A = this chain, B = another copy of it.
């Protein structure tokens, strides 16, 4: 502990005290030239004097850190964690310079460094508190938690399976402290800070492989190397370990704070949203939701479907919970007659046995008696118990029977308490391994998290052959393709482009129009002209051959006036596509996460509506269908149109799937692609790509128009 001091409240002394209290078995040295001993540990002047240490916890102020790190390198230390703030998190230039100095030392050595501006970590499984967080402090963090003994005894936290990793130290450790009080079991808490070397992804990848860890919950502000994220997310999906992620910075003001907080640039929120959906990552919107979801994942088997039984000791809470279930897309099947008969034999006549099963407060029946009747009903995928945990008599009474039922249940059982839970109830629930929530909405939300992950895993298993995308392939040096060249590429890939012919002269244009049939569209073609409409380079609905010739001449003339050495390929003569619904389909491959496929509602006012969604390419038909379901406008413009027209939604989804596969195969080639608009015709008549804008690797493809 470098920078330890005899001051009781100092960070260094706190850490040493925690190491003692948790019974850390290794040797601990204080490093401080002024003292010989701190808290009974030998105090040395330099790290080197402590011998080859495994981990140096550095608590000196920021300006002293580079020298300490040099000392660590000399001493052959393997790891160090820098706890001080005042590096890249500081708005002053000196902070950034200090962080760069640290980065240089890291680069020149084998030392691996956590932080700066990190609160360290707590390894619960192996009893290592390498942190100064007050949440780790038994005198503060565990007050009132009756399964963590208070006083001077050794802290023995029961092993749990939830690892929390946070780019904000305070949030990660407070999740631990709050969760512990509820009854959650944690394996590790890690605070990564400014991530000068070790980042949250490397920690995540490491913990993912630990068989004792089942749930990994992250507070994320941003990723410096997003390309590494998908590999870790894929691995989590393969292992069937849920990732729960709070990604902050969705709002404009949020982004500002993220920027200044740990020096991360929060990525565009829509990209993260897409990546999270693609890999079944459960996104949460605040800390409480993170704790709630982690708890359910930590304890419960996954449900096979959406069918829920609600069993309640309070009629009012049953109704509220049934409402919440319906809002969250669950159904409450009526309990079968045999089981209802069994329940009626146990319950007073004013109880209700259909579903919700309202036991009523007046009943003296136990939790286990009801649960036993319903738990193996094949048409139920999950069970919500609603009870009061204010008193624990009910739990105590048939505790061992409950233990048996919970242990052998193949579906999630979660509990909602409408009263403040007593300490004993919490302890008993913890021993049962049942999560509980103090709100019906939160209860159902936790169940939704389980059900969503279950259906993700089903989709994931079903598309086992899914191509791994080499996301680092995204081209850096790029150029635009003309619509003609882009269309040629898309047509080669079997995508439904419009019929079109490139004309170099009015005569060729007229001949092309004759072949295609009038009316036609005429579009000036140049790789240097990304937005040809904006300069008047597009003529629509050209109705006669004479107008075709004149139009073509006009466009070629226009090209000469645009200047700047415009490279002109000619004029594209294109069939006019009949009316239909306009959507936008695209590829975005600049985020670092690999190619993302986009679907959005189109038309003149598309930008005002901001109605689009993305996924990592390639996608399956099931994912395409989910994307459609996320567009707010889809019910009105594609699925249940007021005018009764039925657009060819299947063809649109097929286009999405095909394009996504093409994008995945061509990640090295394509950086950006806009198919805008894609026209969706009536059912059976398919879709047509009417315009396309593509940005490709500079050396990736010869323009068809140039060959």
A positions within 8 Å CB-CB of B: 85-86, 89-92, 95, 134-135, 140-141, 143-144, 166-171, 174, 177-178, 181, 219, 221, 246, 248-254, 256-258, 260-262, 266, 285-289, 310, 313-320, 322-327, 332, 348-350, 352, 354-356, 358, 360-362, 388, 390-391, 418-420, 422-423, 438-442, 581-582, 601-606, 608-609, 632-633, 635-637, 640-644
Chain B's closest residue to A419 (CB) is B174
Chain B's closest residue to A362 (CB) is B85
B362 touches A326 (CB 8 A): no
Contact of A418 among B287, B324, B332 (CB under 8 A): B287
Question: Residues of B contacting A602 with CB < 8 Å?
Answer: 642
The 19 sampled A-B contact pairs (Cβ below 8 Å) are A90-B350, A134-B390, A135-B419, A166-B316, A168-B317, A170-B315, A170-B388, A170-B418, A171-B316, A177-B419, A246-B320, A248-B316, A248-B320, A250-B323, A256-B322, A261-B315, A286-B324, A287-B440, A632-B632
Question: Residues of B contacting A314 with CB < 8 Å?
Answer: 168, 170-171, 174
The list of the 10 closest CB pairs from A to B, nearest first, reads A603-B642, A168-B316, A251-B326, A288-B439, A261-B315, A248-B319, A254-B322, A604-B644, A90-B350, A605-B640
Give Cα A319 to B247, complex, Å.
Answer: 9
Question: Residues of B contacting A324 with CB < 8 Å?
Answer: 285-286
B349 touches A92 (CB 8 A): yes
Contacts A318-B257, A642-B637 given; indicate if A285 touches B323 (C-beta within 8 A).
yes
Question: Residues of B contacting A440 with CB < 8 Å?
Answer: 285-287
Chain B's closest residue to A95 (CB) is B350
What's the nearest-Cβ distance from chain B to residue A487, in Å?
A: 23
A420 touches B633 (CB 8 A): no
A253 touches B355 (CB 8 A): yes
Output the residue of A85, A140, A266 with the most chain B CB within 10 A. Answer: A85
B442 touches A86 (CB 8 A): no
What's the nearest-Cβ distance from chain B to residue A568, in Å?
A: 31
A350 touches B91 (CB 8 A): yes
A285 touches B320 (CB 8 A): yes
B140 touches A390 (CB 8 A): yes
Chain B's closest residue to A602 (CB) is B642
Contacts A221-B316, A349-B91, A442-B288 given; indicate if A323 touches B251 (C-beta within 8 A).
yes
What's the nearest-Cβ distance from chain B to residue A297, in Å?
A: 18
Give Cα A640 to B86, complex, Å.
Answer: 48
Question: Residues of B contacting A358 with CB < 8 Å?
Answer: 257, 260-261
Contact of A257 among B89, B167, B322, B608 (CB under 8 A): B322
Question: Residues of B contacting A603 with CB < 8 Å?
Answer: 641-644
Question: Residues of B contacting A261 with CB < 8 Å?
Answer: 315-316, 318-319, 352, 358
Question: Residues of B contacting A262 with CB < 8 Å?
Answer: 315
What's the nearest-Cβ distance from chain B to residue A284, in Å?
A: 9
Question: Residues of B contacting A135 with CB < 8 Å?
Answer: 390, 419
Chain B's closest residue to A141 (CB) is B390
Question: Residues of B contacting A248 with CB < 8 Å?
Answer: 316, 319-320, 323
A322 touches B253 (CB 8 A): yes
Question: Residues of B contacting A636 with CB < 8 Å?
Answer: 601, 609, 632-633, 636-637
Contacts A316-B166, A601-B636 given; indicate if A350 touches B288 (C-beta within 8 A).
no
Chain B's closest residue to A644 (CB) is B604
Question: Residues of B contacting A422 with CB < 8 Å?
Answer: 143
A289 touches B178 (CB 8 A): no
Contact of A253 among B257, B356, B581 (CB under 8 A): B356
What's the nearest-Cβ distance from chain B to residue A143, in Å?
A: 7
Output the residue of A419, A423, A644 with the most chain B CB within 10 A. Answer: A419
Question: Residues of B contacting A355 with CB < 8 Å?
Answer: 253
Contacts A261-B358, A358-B257 given; indicate if A178 touches B420 (C-beta within 8 A).
yes
What's the nearest-Cβ distance from chain B to residue A59, in Å?
A: 12
B642 touches A319 (CB 8 A): no
Give Cα A360 to B260, complex, Å.
Answer: 11
Output the residue of A95, A320, A361, A390 with the most chain B CB within 10 A. Answer: A320
Chain B's closest residue to A261 (CB) is B315
A-B contact sample (12 more), CB < 8 A, given A170-B315, A633-B642 = A86-B348, A91-B350, A143-B422, A167-B316, A254-B322, A260-B352, A261-B319, A262-B315, A287-B317, A288-B438, A609-B642, A632-B632
Question: Residues of B contacting A605 with CB < 8 Å?
Answer: 640-642, 644
Contact of A642 among B423, B606, B632, B640 (CB under 8 A): B606
